[in-house]
Amino acid sequence: MPVFFWWYLAAVNLAALFACLADKRAAVKGRWRISERALLTLCALGGGPGFYLGMHWFHHKTRHRKFTWGVPALCLLWLAGMAAWLWLGRT
């Protein structure tokens, strides 16, 4: 896999982690929140592992099925896609 791909994954996972933290802080302070659609979009773009860590480190969105099931499902889809890409690339 190209080096750019790994840098992309690192950046999107850090963005997802910090988005989770920012949304948690906003929730505690009663301020404007990041939409669930935006958070899930970050996960769909490859930031699922970062957001999943944030969910558990910051105790955020852990009671919402959309996140407790959706984020791991998106992570598995990404892993399956990466495995397929590697496997198909070697044949």
Q: What is the pLDDT of residues 46-86, one digit of tens each?
A: 999 999 999 999 999 989 999 999 999 999 999 999 999 88
pLDDT at 90: 64
Measured torsion, CA atoms of residues 29, 41, 11, 91, in degrees rounded to the nearest 10: 160
- Domain hosting 39: range is 3-90
Query: Which residue intervals of 1-91 are DSSP H helices?
Result: 3-29, 36-42, 48-57, 65-68, 70-90
Count of the separate structural domains present in the chain:
1
Q: How many CB atoms lie within 10 A of CB 27?
A: 14
- Please, what is the angle between helix 48-57 and helix 3-29, to 10°? 30
